[in-house]
Chains A and B, each alone.
Chain A
Amino acid sequence: METIQSAPTFEYDDLAPSSHSIEDENPFATMMASFDEAADRLGLDPDLYALLRKPDREIHVSLPTQLDDGTLAIFEGYRVQHNGGLGPYFGPLRLQPGLKIDELRALAGWMTWKCALLNIPFGGSAGGIRMSARRHTKGEVERAVRRYVSSLLGDIGPERDIFSSDLATNEQVMAWVMDTASMHARHTENAVVCGKPLMLGGTHGNVDAVAQGMRLIFAQALEFAGLPKKGARVIIQGTGRRGGNLAQLLVRDGHTIVGMSDVNGAIYNEKGLDVAAAVRARIEHGDLRKSSGSFEILPNEEMIERPCDVFIPCAVANVVHLRNARNIQCKLIVEGSHAAVSGRSDRILAERGIRVVPDILATGGGAVVNYFEWVQNRAGQSWLASEVQSNLERFMLDAWKEVSTLAKDQNLRLRHAAHMVAVKRVASADRLRGLYA
C-alpha cells in the first residue's frame, strides 16, 4: 500500500467543488445547530447552555512580518479557545488567506465535542494566520509563524493549549512552532504541538490516523446499517491523506471502490476502480483522471449522485446540501470532512432512511493520535506503531459503542447521539467544577 505522506499544503479554496452550492451554510451555524439539538434533547439547564455556547476566550494578534523584499506586512492571527472544562485546549492551526473568526469558532467548538466524544482529556480550540502559504516564501511563512507563536505564549503550552496541524501547516511548520515555544521556555517543549516530524517527537501512525480511524468506524457502521461485512460498493470524494489512504485500506478489507475524485474531477466504474493506479496518478501527476484502467470521467457533483452502498465525502463542507440530498443513492454516509452534510440536508437523509456517521465520530482518529503524541512527549517515550494502532482501536470503538447504543436505545440519528454524548460529558465536567469566582 502506498501511504499518502504529504500534509495538505493546498489551501481551502483549492478543494472547493467546481461549482458552488447555492445554499452555503455558515459552518458555525451548522455546528451550533447540532449542539442546540443535543442540548435540547439532554434538557441542558439554561445557564450551562449559555456557558457552552460561547468560547471561553478569543485572542486576536497582529503579526508584523519582514518580507523578503524588506517591506513589512502585518498579518492577522487568531486563537479561539472554546471550553477548557476537561483539560488543556487542543485544536488546529491553519494558514489560510480567507480565514474567518466564525469558522475558527465553529472549529473550536467542534474540537470540544470531538475530544469529549472520544474521551480525550482536552477542550477545543482553533486558530490560524490569515495568509497564503503559497504566495509567500518559506522564510516569510516561518517569520509569521514564529511571531504568531511568541504573541500567544501566555496562552499556549502543553497544559494550556496545544496545536495540531491543519490547512497548510505541515510537519515543518509544526517544528517551527515547537522550536519557538522551546526557545522561550528555555527547554525543549515538544508537547505544545502535535503533528511534528518523527525525529522531533512526532508519533507513529500520524500520517494516516484519520483514515485508520475511519476504517474502524466504517466496519462498525456497515453492520449498524444492515449491510454485509464485505463487498460494499463505495464512493470516496477526495484523494488526499484521508480519502486516498482510506480507499486503499477499504480495498484491503475486501470492499470495492466504484468512484473517486480529486479537485480536478471524478472517475467512476460501477465494477470497481484500480485504486492503487488512481493513487499513483494522484501522487505522480496530481490528477486522478490520468490513472490507467477503465472508468468514465465525471464532474465531482455528478459522481455524488451515482449508485453505491456507502458514500464517504473526504474533501470539503456542504457536499451534501438541500439540492442534492434527495438524489443521493447510497444507504450509508460516513463523513470524512467537517460538516460534509449540511445541517438541513441531514434531516432529508434521515427521512430517506440513509444513515449518516457524523464527522466528529468518523474523523476522530486524527485527534486521538495527536493526543497519543502529546502523551508520549510528556512521558518522554515513544510507542511502537502497533501500540498506537491498538490504542487507537480502543478509543474509536469505545466511542462508537457509546454512540450507537444511545442511538439505538432512544431511536436517534447517529449525529444527535454523538453530540449528546459529547455535550453531556463537557456539561458534567463544567457542572462538577462549578463557577470559579
Chain B
Amino acid sequence: MSQASTAHAPQAQGSEFNPFESMARNFNAAADKLGLDEGLREVLRRPDREVTVAIPVVMDNGKLEVFTGYRVQHNFSRGPCKGGIRYAPDVNLDEVRALSAWMTWKCAVVDVPFGGGKGGVICDPRKLSQGELERITRRYTSGILDILGPDRDVPAPDVNTNEQTMAWLMDTYSMHVRRTTTAVVTGKPIALGGSRGRREATGRGVMFVCREALKKLGMRPENTCVVVQGSGNVGGIGAELMHREGYKIVSISDMYGAIHNEKGLDIPAVMAHLKKNGKLAGFPGAKELTSAAALELPCEVLVPAATENQITSQNAERIQAKLIIEGANGPTTDAADKILEKKGVIVVPDILANAGGVTVSYFEWVQDRMGYFWTEEHVNTSLEQIMVKAFADVDAVANKYKCSMRIAAYILAIDRVSSVYKLRGVFA
C-alpha cells in the first residue's frame, strides 16, 4: 500500500518540513491556476464528515481502557471513500484530516472512482497483545459501522495495521450485515478476497511512471543510472522491477545507510542479502555511505521511496538527477521543489508516482464486488493502463498550464473532483 509507506509525519508548525502545509500550498497554487471559486475551495478544504469514537476495551489484565478512534471522510462526491487506518500513539485528528484529503487527490489523479478517507486509533501497538488489538479493531469497526460499506467507505491498511487487521474488520462488518462482505475493506489476505499483485503494486507503479517519464525525455533504460532510497515494498520492489527492465541501479538504501556501485548493483542478489542479514551493509563489491549522501550521487533518476522531507532546501542544489520519481509521500519539500524547478529537474509527484497501491486496492474492491478474481497478469496489465493514462493526463495538464508536474497533478485532481461536485449540485 502506498499509504503504508507514509512514515509518521512530524507536527512541526509553519516550517518547511510540514508535508500537510505544503499540500495546502500546492492546493492553493493549483486552485489559483484553475480559477476555482472561493465557495468550491472551501468545500474541498473541509472534510465531508468526521467521526470520533470512544473504544472501550477489556485489557488482558481485566482492566477497562478507553481508546479514541477517528474516521474522516474528506470527499465522497466521486464515489465511496478510500483510505487507510493507522494505529499509533500520536494519531491526531488534524493529521487524519490531511491524509484523507491526500487520498482524495490521489484517487482523482489515477481516476479511480473513490473519494478520500482516512482513519486512526490512538494506541501503541507495541504494547498491545494480539487479543487486545483484535478487540480494539472490532469495537472501532462497530463504532464506525454506519459510515462503512463497499458503497460508503472502504478502509485499507496503513501504519501498524496489516492483512490480519483488515480480516478482523471484514469479519466484524460481515457478521453485522449478516453476509460475507469482502468489498468493505482492501488489503486483505488472498484467502479472504485479497488481490494478486497487491504487495508489488506501488513499486510496479513507480516503474511504469518512470518508464513514461524516460520516454518523454528521450532516454532509454539501458543508459539510465538510478539511485533508490528505501528497500521495502516500494523501493525494494521498484528497484527489482526496474533492474529487470534494464536500468542500472547504482545505489539503494535502507534505514541504516546506502550501498553504491557505479557499475550497477545486482539487485536480486542485493535483496537476497538484505533478507538474509536484515541490512544492506556488507554487500560484497559495494561502497557504503549514508542515505543522505546517496541522494547526491551522480545518476539520471532518483527514486526517494522511504520517508518524507528527504530533498530539502539544504540539499536540493546538489542533486544530480534529471528526474525524481517520488515513491514515498512528501519526500520533496516545496522549498526544494522551487530549486529543482529552476535547475530543470523533473519531479513526478507522489500523488501520481505512488498511486499504484491505491489502484490495485481499487482492483481488489472491483474483484470482491464481482466475486471473480483476476490473474496476476491481468492485475498488472490493468495497473499499467491506469498508470500510463494518469501520467499522460498529468503531463498534458503540465504542458497546458506551463507548470510543474506536481502542480499539474493537483490541478487535474481538483478539476476532476470539483467538476463532479458541480454536476451533482449541492443537495439541500
Of A25-33, A125-133, A206-214, A372-380, the segment with at least 4 beta carbons within 8 Å of chain B is A372-380
Taking the closest CB of chain B, its distance from the CB of A394, in whole angstroms, is: 8
Distance between Cα atoms of A425 and B182 in the complex (Å) = 16
Q: Given the complex of chains A and B, what is the CA–CA distance between A428 and B193 in angstroms? A: 13
Q: A434, B175: Cβ atoms under 8 Å?
A: no
Stretch in B74-82, B208-216, B275-283, B367-375 with 4+ CB within 8 Å of A:
B367-375
**Closest CB-CB distance, A113 to chain B, in whole Å?**
15
Complex: A425 Cα to B193 Cα, angstroms: 12
Q: Please tell me if the beta carbons of A84 and B180 are within 8 angstroms of each other in the complex.
A: yes
User: Quick one: which of B167, B181, B372 contacts A434, CB cutoff 8 A?
Assistant: B167
B residues less than 8 Å from A434 (CB atoms) = 134, 167-168, 171
Known: A86-B180, A88-B179. 13 other contacts (CB 8 A): A87-B371, A157-B179, A159-B179, A375-B371, A378-B369, A379-B372, A429-B191, A432-B164, A432-B189, A432-B191, A433-B168, A436-B171, A436-B175
Size category of the A interface is: 20 to 34
Identify 6 residue pairs between A and B in the complex whose beta-carbon atoms are under 8 Å apart, listed by A's number: A88-B180, A378-B370, A432-B163, A432-B191, A433-B170, A433-B171
Cα distance, A157 to B180, chains bound together (Å): 11
B342 within 8 A of A: no
- Interface residues in B, total, Cβ within 8 A: 26
What separation, in Å, do the CA atoms of A66 and B320 have in the docked complex?
A: 87
Q: A121: CB under 8 A from chain B?
A: yes
Cα of A87 to Cα of B193 in the assembled complex, Å: 9
| Residues in A neighbouring B192, C-beta threshold 8 A | 86, 429, 432-433
* Interface: A306 (CB within 8 A): no
Bound: A86/B194 CA distance, A: 12
- Give the Cβ gap from B140 to chain A, nearest Cβ, in Å: 14
Say whether B180 contacts A159, CB under 8 Å. yes
Is B172 engaged at the interface, CB distance under 8 Å to the other chain? yes
Interchain CA distance A428-B189 in the complex, whole Å: 10
Complex-state Cα separation, A119 to B369, whole angstroms: 16
Q: Mark B157-195, 1 if CB is under 8 A from A, else 0.
A: 000000110011011101100111110000001011100
Please state if A425 and B191 are interface contacts (CB–CB under 8 Å).
yes
* A160 cross-chain contacts in B, Cβ below 8 A: 178-179
B182 touches A121 (CB 8 A): yes
Complex Cα spacing A121 to B134, Å: 24
Q: Across the two chains, which residue of chain A brings its CB closest to B193?
A: A121
- Within A367-412, which residues are at the interface with B (CB < 8 Å)? 371, 374-375, 378-379, 394
A160 vs B177: C-alpha distance when bound (angstroms): 10
Cβ of B138 under 8 Å from chain A? yes
Shortest beta-carbon distance from A414 to chain B in Å: 22
Bound-state Cα–Cα, A121 to B168, Å:
18
Find out whether the CB atom of A87 lies under 8 angstroms from the CB atom of B168: no
Q: Tell whether, in the assembled complex, residue A159 and residue B167 are in contact, meaning their CB atoms are under 8 Å apart.
A: no
B134 touches A159 (CB 8 A): no
A121 x B371 contact (CB < 8 A): yes
- Minimal beta-carbon separation of B168 from chain A (angstroms): 6
A157 to B179, CA, bound (A): 9
Complex Cα spacing A374 to B174, Å: 20
Complex Cα–Cα for A433 and B194 (A)? 13
Give me the 10 closest cross-chain CB pairs, A-B, nearest first: A433-B171, A432-B167, A159-B179, A375-B372, A436-B175, A87-B180, A429-B191, A160-B179, A428-B191, A433-B167
Closest CB of chain B to A59's CB: distance in Å? 14
A-chain residues with CB within 8 Å of residue B170 when the two chains form the complex: 433
Across-interface contacts of B167 in A (CB, < 8 A): 432-434
Interface string of A80-91 (1 = CB under 8 A from B): 000010111000
**Minimum C-beta distance from B8 to chain A (A):** 27
Question: Whole-angstrom distance between the alpha carbons of A157 and B182 in the complex?
Answer: 16
CB distance from A205 to the nearest CB of B (A): 15
Nearest Cβ on chain A to B192's Cβ, whole angstroms: 6
Chain B residues with CB below 8 A from A86, complex form: 180, 191-192
Given contacts A87-B182, A436-B175, contact A374 B371 (CB under 8 A): yes
Closest B residue to A424 by beta carbon equals: B191
Q: Which residues of B contact A432 (CB under 8 A)?
A: 163-164, 167, 189, 191-192
* Identity of the chain A residue whose Cβ is nearest the Cβ of B179 in the assembled complex: A159
* A157 to B167 alpha-carbon distance, docked (Å): 23
Bound-state CA distance A436–B179 (Å) is: 13
Task: Specify which chain B residues have a CB less than 8 angstroms from the CB of A157 in the assembled complex.
Answer: 179
Question: Do residues B370 and A121 form an inter-chain contact, with CB atoms below 8 A?
Answer: no
How many angstroms between the C-alpha atoms of A252 and B167 in the bound complex?
47
**Considering only CB atoms, which chain A residue lies closest to B168 in the complex?**
A434
